[in-house]
Structure 1
């Protein structure tokens, strides 16, 4: 029943935006972008944090008009920064943190814009990368690990900031092309081509982003450090083909395929591979 209700709401919203695009295109563009960029899940309440986050040292950092949350599990001088994905938060790393602690490393996790305890209502990769850059300058991590849009943002970050502190980068279930994300979103709401063009125009006018050029394969081609790309062949959220495009563009990256982990990419065997990539080579 819940799935049917969600389906009907999505299609009704899409129909409304489609009709609006011919009458009030600016409002249609704003609505389409709002529902694409505003997460509806992933928030946390400070008074009732998951246990794994209660174990960490928590710090709120100010950046321009935004606040973002950082969690640190203190260890030795080696540091790894973890970046979660869409409608998630730093607590999603609980299982991986258990593996990373075996190395004695210091573990740092960030709440993305509009997620966890971080401020804002809108998510964008460039803004997420800004947050990450502030954290990298402060903590100087050796490694980055990102899941889903966190992995895509890690690629964007390293290609644009070219940070010398980062020695290795891991992506788990990361999407590649912004246009693919937009097409999937348009499919869910059954948005017409007119609305899709309005969305492309919105990205360019507000962020100077040409959606067909905003691609993980482009970002990966500029990265000079070692990487590990992991993706599940049965991922129903982000197509396996997205990982293949990133892998083709990043010659210094290993490509690990999994079966049965889905989009969450939680698995002891995979996390063992991540551990070995980071600490045993």
Structure 2
């Protein structure tokens, strides 16, 4: 019964938004926006606590929310890890162990509304602002981002143009317009609701759907970049990384098979290490 309810829940929510929009279009658009930005998972699980608690570092204040940071100290260059949607810093555990063997100085933080960090919503511009706070504190040489963390890594560089040496993107989506097409299909939202939602996005974040393109933002990046994406990624299409790679002239694209969206195995870790070591 629970599984059946969860299956139909998006349609029920969509029906409610479609109906509310007839009477209160602005309120319906606001609800659709905050629903889109609200993760359902990503908090720290009991089995993740030991690894994370042993590396807890400073907590910094970001828009009146506490953001948890982590550090695994080393003597080599500073690397900052930026996790994805409905995840937390624990996703980097195996990669961190490899970086420790190379004696890198490793930093990470839980995004707003994820892990041990406070907050209820997340979007790329918000995440990029939090990332900039972290960059200001530690001045990393290399940033590695996964999924929405990879989107944020590019958008952050587009916005702030920091003096980072290298960037690594794992499974990045690219076009907000495609993401919103999927959102519309999942909830079965009417075109009129999507129009109001796009207006609300523009009001809140300063971009219309088609304007928010990671591939376009990557065009101005001058640092060397490594992009890794799985051919059969079911979350973010491989076309996203191909478009980013095409616009980002100083980037290299590695396409895997069978690594999924998580892109979390020895071969991928070794490719990243080869890139940052050279």
Smaller-chain TM-score range? over 0.9
Unaligned ranges ≥5, structure 1? none
**In structure 2, do the counterparts of structure 1 residues 89 and 12 end up closer, same or farther at CA, with 3 Å as the change threshold?**
same
Distance in 2 (alpha carbons) for counterparts of 1:75 and 1:55: 15
Matched residues in 2 for 1:258 and 1:156: separation? 24
Q: Deviations over 1:222-249 (max 9, x none)?
A: 1110000111111111111111111111
- Alignment size in residue pairs: 278
**What is the rounded CA distance, in whole Å, between the counterparts of 1:69 and 1:178 in structure 2?**
28
Cross-structure match for 2:19: 19
Tell me if structure 1 keeps the 8 A contact 2:145–2:151.
yes
Do residues 172 (structure 1) and 170 (structure 2) align? yes
The 1:5–1:64 alpha-carbon spacing in structure 2 relative to 1, beyond 3 Å, is closer
TM-score normalized with structure 2 length: 0.95
Q: Which residue of 1 aligns with 2:49?
A: 50
Q: Distance in 2 between matches of 1:221 and 1:200?
A: 24
Q: Matched residues in 1 for 2:152 and 2:268: separation?
A: 21
Q: How does 1:1-281 map to 2 (within 5 A)?
A: 3-44=3-44, 49-164=48-163, 166-279=164-277, 281=278
Q: CA deviation at 1:155?
A: 0.2
CA distance in 1, matches of 2:137, 2:260: 34
* CA distance in 1: counterparts of 2:82 and 2:71, whole angstroms: 13
1:123-160: per-residue Cα shift (whole Å, max 9, x none)?
Answer: 02112111111111111111000000000000001111
> SS in structure 2 opposite 1:26?
helix
Q: CA deviation at 1:3?
A: 4.9
Equivalents in 2 of 1:44, 1:14: separation in Å? 29
SS in 2 for 1:109: strand
Post-superposition Cα deviations, 1:228-277, rounded to whole Å, max 9, x if no partner, equal 01111111111111111111110101100011111111111111101110
What TM-score, normalized by structure 1, do the two folds share?
Answer: 0.94
SS in 1 for 2:16: helix
SS at the partner of 2:253? strand
RMSD (Å) for aligned C-alpha atoms:
1.6
